[in-house]
Amino acid sequence: MPKKKTPEKYEPWIEARERYRLSHAHLQMARELRLNAKKFGSLANTKQEPWKAPLPEFIEQLCFKDFKKNRPDNVRSTEQMFGDANRKKEERRARNYAAKPSRPPG
């Protein structure tokens, strides 16, 4: 069985996790804060701008400021998210296919 391709909307998150060495929890917090994964480079610029906090700490500070908690309640990896989305899509297709009336020949 061929491996399913990663949807385009999740690719920036996977690339950001690898590039900036973020945990699944940090990505979950960033998604809940509606941060743009493509713009993490300007936020993680601590070598040129030493007053900035490292990206994982910055995300934790924002999450605590907005939600008053250090970690999300339910941490899900990006792969789990698009796996669940694919499963729901297949279930929806199966339901629609079963509910569709068959046309009589003629």
In this predicted structure, what is the pLDDT of residue 33?
Answer: 94
1-30 pLDDT, tens per residue?
A: 556 677 788 899 999 999 999 999 999 999
Joined together, the tokens standing for residue 70 give 């250090």
CA dihedral 80, 86, 92, 98 (to 10 degrees): -120
CB 62 within 8 A of CB 34: no
pTM flag (> 0.85): no
Average pLDDT for residues 40-57, to the nearest whole number?
Answer: 90
pLDDT of the residue at 1: 52
pLDDT value of residue 63: 94
User: So what's the pLDDT on residue 2?
Assistant: 56
Q: Reduced to 3 DSSP states, what percent helix, strand and coil does the chain have, rounded to the nearest 5? A: 60, 0, 40
pLDDT at 106: 54
Alpha carbon distance 101, 106 (integer Å) = 15
What's the pLDDT tens digit per position in 60-80?
A: 999 999 999 988 888 988 888
In the chain, at which residue ranges do the beta strands (DSSP E only) sit?
A: none
